[in-house]
A and B are shown apart, each in its own frame.
Chain A
Amino acid sequence: MAKINEEQVRHVAHLARLAVTDEEVQQFTVQLEKILGFAEQLNELDTTGVEPTTHVLDLKNVLRKDEVRPSLPRTEVERLSPDWEDGQVRVPAVFE
């Protein structure tokens, strides 16, 4: 049975860039343990030498010609952005 503790849940939330409340941490700890416990039935399967699926069809390296084509107009991108200044998306400082 998978054992998940609150510290792990906080670590995973950080990896997922998700702010979580104490209540959510408790809830996720119980639920993730339950779901992962359910998933452990896969351990019954002997998968020695079984290739992991990478694609259901036998498609390989689908390429197209690298041709210049119009992209989204900057005005449209500006319209969608929550914070925009002088043709750029504005965010808090990345470095201290």
Chain B
Amino acid sequence: MSLFEHGVKNLHTLVKDGEVKVSELVQESFDRIDRVDGNIGAFLSLNEDAFEQAKRMDEIAKHEANPLFGLPIGVKDNIVTKGMTTTCGSKFLENFVPAHDATVVERLHEAGAITIGKLNMDEFAMGSSNENSAYKPVRNPWNTKHVPGGSSGGSAAAVAAGEVLFSLGSDTGGSIRQPAAYCGVVGLKPTYGLVSRYGLVAFASSLDQIGPLTRTVEDNAYLLSAIAGHCDMDSTSANVNPTDYTQALTGDIKGLKIAVPKEYFGEGISEGVKENIRAAIKKLESLGATVDEVSLPNSKYALATYYLLASSEASSNLARFDGIRYGVRAEADALEDVFKYSRAQGFGDEVKRRIMLGTYALSSGYYDAYYKKAQQARTLIKQDFDQVLANYDVIIGPTAPTPAFELGAQNDDPVTMYANDILTIPINLAGVPAISVPAGLVDGLPVGLQIIGKHFDEATIYRAAHAFELATGGFTLPKL
């Protein structure tokens, strides 16, 4: 039996009582990585100091009150870690060893969690399958012919494969929830502004959020409690007090008002996914929730809106990769050519494509037609959510239109690949929080149930997800 099956709560007691040593937990991670990561490819680098840290922590474990003390975590490679390479899945940052920690990493270390290593991802978080990593693809632990989803594919696969207890990912258009769904784990995209973005390498700053991926809803609530809250270094960080989200897990959802958008069961959603999600809705009803069908009429415009806005923001954010202060530097006689050739050498195809799209959408003569129009569409999409959430506690539907597809299946056409995020993107545009929880299998591959909540009402999302998990049995480790 894996020690990770205990979950955060029990492990905390076991560590405090000296029945499980922190070094054993770290050993468990490294043993598992040794055994399975050759096939999975979730890790880009490992923390060589983890064992030393664990030994020091074992000496003080019995006095420790923090529930995360001594627990092994994996961190997506676009979150900066002092002294540990942070590549963003890009050749541009192959040798980049940051001089500081992201706020979330600092908070995790204060809580006593041990970083095991950095997790593979689509380059600069641009992708839905992890095939855009400049290093290696990640494979789905449930079936290694299939993708794990993206862009936090390494974060989801590492948890599903039992390589770490939990992990951090980032979500700009579904990059935590879609891989969580594909790999059968729990993944939360918090409300925009709840978790500090300081030290998260920016992709689209108005959409990016860091969030936890875990085996269970309870573990997820523990991890969010540790990382959420105001941060001076992020001017979009909201002024919210620290909260213990585990308090929300009552198991009781009697009277919970659920909205189900009809658009989330439309064209392009596979029959298997629809069946599992309908069964999940029945389950929630049987637990005492009320369910009504609603409409989010502007959802169909979300994909186009997102790709214009996210690419525009990316083209601006990625201008910092100029080859001057860090990263790849191409040799050239003229300064402008240093910029141009450093970027051409360091960036992969999808990153270049989005920089081109964003630059075009922001360029003189096209700004109003594309960027401004998309920001107006965003307002309409957000209003859809505001209206429904004024009358309901949560909105639910599938996380992704299909279970995980095979590697190489969708590489020909960027627009087809982008459509994998059609059910997760509207949530980022509206800035609301959403979780994906496992809701059964189709042909041996996991399906995710998405639960969307009001701004800063992660507690209700967790309560609903937890009740569902209790009623359905929760996390299963795939056979590896």
Contact = CB atoms under 8 A, between A and B. Distances in A.
B372 A91 contact: no
A18 B347 CA distance: 9
A32 B343 CA distance: 19
At the interface, is chain B mostly helix, strand, loop or mixed? helix
A81 interface: yes
B378 A53 contact: yes
A56 B206 contact: yes
A7 to B, nearest CB: 13
A18 B236 contact: no
Interface string B32-62: 0000000000000000000000000000000
Contacts of A59: 193, 236, 238
A80 B96 contact: yes
Give the interface size bracket for A toward B. 35 or more
Contact of A45 (B298, B333, B337): B298
Contacts of B379: 50-53
B286 interface: no
A93 interface: yes
Given A81-B325, A94-B335, A18 B343 contact: yes
Interface of A: 4, 8-9, 12-13, 15-20, 24, 28, 31-32, 34-36, 38-45, 47, 50-57, 59, 62, 64, 72-73, 76-77, 79-83, 89, 91-94
Given A18-B355, A31-B414, A56-B429, 17 more contacts: A4-B360, A15-B359, A18-B340, A19-B344, A35-B415, A38-B303, A40-B304, A42-B301, A42-B377, A45-B298, A45-B301, A47-B380, A56-B192, A72-B100, A91-B338, A92-B333, A94-B335
Interface of B: 96-97, 99-100, 192-193, 206, 232, 235-236, 238, 298, 300-301, 303-305, 307-308, 315, 319, 322-329, 332-341, 343-344, 347, 352-353, 355-357, 359-360, 363, 370, 372-380, 382, 413-415, 429-431, 455
